[in-house]
Chains A and B, each alone.
Chain A
């Protein structure tokens, strides 16, 4: 059997190679999914931790426990805490980075026996011990304590710099603790021998910096235990603190749920009067991560469905073609007595064999794909970034196995359909064809109906969907499904139209068609089913390709545009203004005055095209007959502002510059947001009174309304706030744009922002800041924000997956088309022989084939582009909700890069031309007498 199978494969090497390519791609894509998901989750989690460190400046994964012993009570609880602390690493399954163990006596009052300045009579100083301090610190002055009591009955101690300052202690100072006594009633005496600090800067031992121990005399653990615990413990109250730092880099996303549970369990378990475990800050972060992770995972999974479906269709198609070629052989095998089971087994082994090879090649290819995905910076764009850590997890093998299973099924399906053939039925089957089932059942129209119903339903719930996404849920997968169904349904429906079109075209010149066109039309009309599959395939690939590029381009471009718009200019910054705030704080009668830093220096920023002063204040109150609202005021120099900012032409009723021109006509003129008109009833020419509160002082001014604007650089018309109960509230934002000089005269002279329009990057600005030592109090860098958006896991994953899908689609589309045509010609060699014998010339035959190609391929691509465009138009506005953020201000703009479509078309065009060359070559090489012999078996 194996031998027979190998022979079969070798006999049809090209088909087998194509099947193999399809299989390999399927496996690679299937496995790259969990790989990528896993890797990007890992990266995301690492990023979360990194952010945590940056924001809190604190090690992110710490188990923080306290045990207390109160006059011999609570010992067992403390023991339990101690045991937990030593096994925490095991419990969480994370390696221990550092364990910090600190014990201290509670409430010990000390009296210094050394006379020096500023001495306090008695103060609360704690006696403590930090295990391992010797190995992690250096002594700044004096020396480290000894493990033994001195001969004169002192315990030696070291202190931190902070303790030295706070407690006003000196090296060599001696203290006695009247209420901490030995058994012989002698007070405990301590001599300070040195001041310690951390030996290295980045030592996890100093999770709590030395300054943290600012109220404590550190003595040797042995003396602490000997003196205050065990035998003598009855008398002393002491605390035990544990900080166990675990290696967060080893925390895999899969472990997060488990860790969250374990933390909760531990907190409950160790919460007693005598022990406690702190609720760690990172819990919130991890919970957040879980939500985001799920959202991303759902979105990315769904994005991959179409390409997997297409791959399956591809395998089915190839397998079917291969079988068609083998029909005679199957019939022959049957006539020689091979049973149904034997034939199925033969094909089963064949597809299993191919699948296994694919599995072996597909795994590393998947890992490669995954790495490429990780480098995707935008659609069809790659940038070198941090490498993704690709792992072969269990899921990878499960997905790979599933892919093998699916491909085996897909390649076997046609066998089941065909294994009933006999010699007789093969010949008979080539008779008049029936309409395919889907056409009889109007499946295309049903699918389209469902898809459009879905679209309609989701369209109705747009607000609700947005709220769900903003509160951390994933977009309903059914939306994606609905879009895919639409493309599928429309693709099938286009076939219906296609055959109508051809028939119409054919009937135009039925009588006068030249033999070549005549034959090709008849071929298309009468053997439509054969072309149907390749056509659907082409339509779907092109449509999905187009749809994918539109989603990818649109979501990213819109997010970036929103970010740019909300920022206002390339760089928005505020410099520190010297002021008398400190005096004003003491004397309420003093007004705060600011001195303006030199503005002229901004002219020297390398790469800055224009610079504008913008005063912004959100504490503006406007009273209107309807209601009193809170507004923002923006004070600008119209000319500079116009140069430093941009606003898309279609956002305002008139040209953006015209509004600025109008405003510049009158120093008391203002532009206000449209909601002043729509919600509060203001009209053009109305006077608007507003009061601005700055530094607790409020001043009033008024302006005449010269225009209403829907949008304005840096102005968010609506703001969405996520409430704690995960609902969202939309608030209306009001805006008044006035002249900066007018504002300064009427409100006061306060720090303004500097808005800078840069050439192509913000590098020059940073150089300028450094060179001029500018003290920046606020900085928004649009370039930075844009690159931050594209590296967000959701955007990056989407770009990566859509790019990969697009490339895969191109690949299978090309291979599929090539195979279809090669086979289609090969199977018609006899027919061509007959045509040639009847006197048709080679060029007529080529003409016939080109005609066929145009009417299947080119028309299918046309349909594909149309459907892709339509699907984008209908579904992208809803799908982009999955990527929406609370800062969305601008209306959605669909973006299809012509370049992407051109890329798609160029590649398909190359395949077309390749097919054509192969065709011409084959037709020219064909010998009539040999072709005719093909019919003689």
Chain B
């Protein structure tokens, strides 16, 4: 198997519940996300896929087990180092509106460049990203003036703008109709091939499952692997 950009080894995650046994969400999960793929984490609601994604996205830490980002063990680094990784090497797309409401479409995308300290021509980069998601003529709009699908596309543009290694998308299509959802997934596919980025996406939509290069099915806190590459 080719090089994995993210790897987890026996990750457990449990949440404390007042007066009761902690709720174990992930049990000894070991996954490997291959570089430059669209990897899908699928499973029914409450299966733990978002929890897993938060852990591999350095937003949350595991209760036990190890998480590697490339060669670095991110389960063992400080919060400020995690922040730096998030800022420069990761991008996020969330289920619901995640744009910054007081910034225009352009500014939203540019903001991630500001955060990561992007050195290149910012304007050019923002426009390129907006073109990639097909919203170049919406640059001056406020997020609230866009439809849900358009907003999600802006979020994608923002997530890839600073040229991260991995983009995490948590149920990005959950609030969209199936037609728009397919558009979003197609954009992801295009990004994987054109921007050399790895995309990890969670979904409970069975129709989208086969769209991924690699699929992990999460059920009852355990993950099973499926490789779609080479399939026709």
Q: Is A428 an interface residue (CB 8 A)?
A: yes
Q: Are B102 and A935 in contact (CB under 8 A)?
A: no
How far apart are the CA atoms of A838 and B60 in the complex, in Å?
13
Q: Is A932 an interface residue (CB 8 A)?
A: yes
Nearest CB of chain B from residue A820's CB, rounded to whole Å: 17
Nearest CB of chain A from residue B81's CB, rounded to whole Å: 11
How far apart are the CA atoms of A528 and B50 in the complex, in Å?
36
Q: Which of A155-163, A519-527, A725-733, A800-808 contacts B (4 or more CB under 8 A)?
A: A519-527
Residues of A within 8 Å of B170, CB to CB, are 932
Contact code string B77-109 (vs A, CB < 8 Å = 1, else 0): 001100111111010101111101111000100
Q: Are A430 and B100 in contact (CB under 8 A)?
A: no
Q: Is A936 an interface residue (CB 8 A)?
A: yes
Residues of B within 8 Å of A836, CB to CB, are 59, 83
Q: Is A834 an interface residue (CB 8 A)?
A: yes
Nearest CB of chain B from residue A520's CB, rounded to whole Å: 10
Q: Is B145 an interface residue (CB 8 A)?
A: yes
How far apart are the CA atoms of A929 and B61 in the complex, in Å?
10
* Cβ 8 A contact of A838, one of B92, B97, B142, B145: B92
* Cβ 8 A contact of B87, one of A526, A831, A838, A929: A838
Number of interface residues of B (CB under 8 A): 35
Residues of A within 8 Å of B80, CB to CB, are 841
Q: Is A427 an interface residue (CB 8 A)?
A: yes
Nearest CB of chain B from residue A895's CB, rounded to whole Å: 45
Q: Are B98 and A840 in contact (CB under 8 A)?
A: no
Q: Are A515 and B86 in contact (CB under 8 A)?
A: no
Q: Are A831 and B86 in contact (CB under 8 A)?
A: no
Q: Are B94 and A428 in contact (CB under 8 A)?
A: no
How far apart are the CA atoms of A498 and B86 in the complex, in Å?
36
Q: Is A656 an interface residue (CB 8 A)?
A: no
Q: Are B94 and A834 in contact (CB under 8 A)?
A: yes
Q: Are A928 and B115 in contact (CB under 8 A)?
A: no
Q: Are A837 and B92 in contact (CB under 8 A)?
A: yes
How far apart are the CA atoms of A831 and B50 in the complex, in Å?
19
Q: Is B131 an interface residue (CB 8 A)?
A: no
CB-nearest residue of chain A to B110: A518
Q: Is A601 an interface residue (CB 8 A)?
A: no
Nearest CB of chain A from residue B22's CB, rounded to whole Å: 16
CB-nearest residue of chain B to A932: B94
Q: Are B96 and A935 in contact (CB under 8 A)?
A: yes
Contact code string A827-858 (vs B, CB < 8 Å = 1, else 0): 00001001111111100000000000000000
Q: Which of A432, A518, A932 has the most CB of B within 10 A?
A: A932
How far apart are the CA atoms of A840 and B59 in the complex, in Å?
12
Q: Are A431 and B94 in contact (CB under 8 A)?
A: no
Q: Are A935 and B97 in contact (CB under 8 A)?
A: yes
Majority DSSP secondary structure for residues of B touching A: helix
Q: Are A839 and B87 in contact (CB under 8 A)?
A: yes
How far apart are the CA atoms of A526 and B104 in the complex, in Å?
10
Number of interface residues of A (CB under 8 A): 28
Q: Is B54 an interface residue (CB 8 A)?
A: yes
CB-nearest residue of chain A to B112: A838
Nearest CB of chain B from residue A823's CB, rounded to whole Å: 16
Residues of A within 8 Å of B86, CB to CB, are 837-839
* Cβ 8 A contact of A522, one of B85, B90, B103, B144: B103
CB-nearest residue of chain A to B113: A515
Q: Are B112 and A928 in contact (CB under 8 A)?
A: no
Q: Is B116 an interface residue (CB 8 A)?
A: yes
Residues of A within 8 Å of B145, CB to CB, are 431-432
Residues of A within 8 Å of B79, CB to CB, are 841
Q: Are B115 and A929 in contact (CB under 8 A)?
A: no
From known contacts A522-B102, A929-B54, infer whether A515 and B111 are also in contact, taking CB-CB under 8 Å. yes
Q: Is B3 an interface residue (CB 8 A)?
A: no
How far apart are the CA atoms of A525 and B142 in the complex, in Å?
14
CB-nearest residue of chain A to B146: A431
Interface residue ranges of B27-84 to A (CB < 8 Å)? 50-51, 54, 57, 59-60, 79-80, 83-84
CB-nearest residue of chain A to B53: A929
Nearest CB of chain A from residue B113's CB, rounded to whole Å: 10
Nearest CB of chain A from residue B99's CB, rounded to whole Å: 8
Residues of B within 8 Å of A519, CB to CB, are 100, 111
Q: Are A840 and B142 in contact (CB under 8 A)?
A: no
Q: Write 19 A-B pairs (CB below 8 A) sorted by A numbering.
A: A428-B144, A430-B101, A431-B144, A431-B145, A515-B115, A519-B100, A522-B102, A527-B102, A837-B59, A839-B84, A839-B90, A840-B83, A840-B87, A841-B80, A841-B83, A927-B60, A929-B50, A932-B59, A932-B98
- Nearest 4 Cβ contacts at the A-B interface: A839-B87, A839-B86, A431-B144, A526-B102
